[in-house]
Amino acid sequence: MRTTGIVVVLTACAAPLVAQVAGTPATPAGPRPAPVILPAAQQIAAAVQPLPAPMRDSAAVLGYSAGGQLVELRHGNGSMICLADDPKDDGFHVACYSATMEPFMARGRELRAHGADQNMVDSVRGAESRDGRIRMPSTAMLYSLTGPAGSYNAATNTVTGARPLFVVYVPFATAESLGLTTMPQRGVPWMMHPGAPNAHIMFVPGM
């Protein structure tokens, strides 16, 4: 699962895969095809799907240019920012978060662009949030949908087969202060990263 409160980047490092068929020499797998960058309108339509319908038209949307760079596809006048599905990933994942979280999110993207792994991202953002260089909100919301490739149908503007996730950020709060568990349980909200700048409550509908 990719969360959007904390965008997780997975890098696969594997030797070429070979298939051995009786009587046929092993053949290395071909190069990975170049990612397909969808038209901006389609990226926007898919990116806002996690939000309640009344909030979709006012959300800002970050997506991908023809060259694969993350850019602002649509300026928003509402309270949410949405991230389009990353064309480099095999599955489908879109997320929308409160604009008050953008300094924290943008810093994570900046660090990853310079090669930082998730541990380094957490360490740097944690220090900068505690000393005030990154200003954190008291609470903030995140919505996401995660599923297999093809979950979004552009013709019908619908998502099927993707799992929703709701996250409430409560920076620096603890499980004890909120009366929550830190252990995932079916049908029960739980807390991740208690006491940290990215402390948040997880809700998975239908658990």
Q: Is the pLDDT of residue 206 over 80?
A: no
Is residue 29 in some structural domain?
no
pLDDT tens for each residue of 147-200: 999 999 999 999 999 999 999 999 999 999 999 999 998 778 999 999 999 999
* Residue 18 located in a structural domain: no
Containing domain of residue 83, as a range?
A: 45-203
Tokens of 186: 């079916």
The answer to whether residue 39 sits within a structural domain is no
| Residue 36: inside a domain | no
- Is the pLDDT confidence value at 27 over 60? no
Residue 99 within any structural domain of the chain: yes
Is residue 17 included in any domain, yes or no? no
Tokens standing for 10?
A: 């997975």
Strands across the sheet containing 92-98: 70-74, 60-64, 80-83, 92-98, 140-147, 163-169, 200-203, 190-192
Structural domains counted in the chain: 1
Within a domain: 167: yes
- 116 in a structural domain: yes
Q: Is the pLDDT of residue 93 over 70?
A: yes
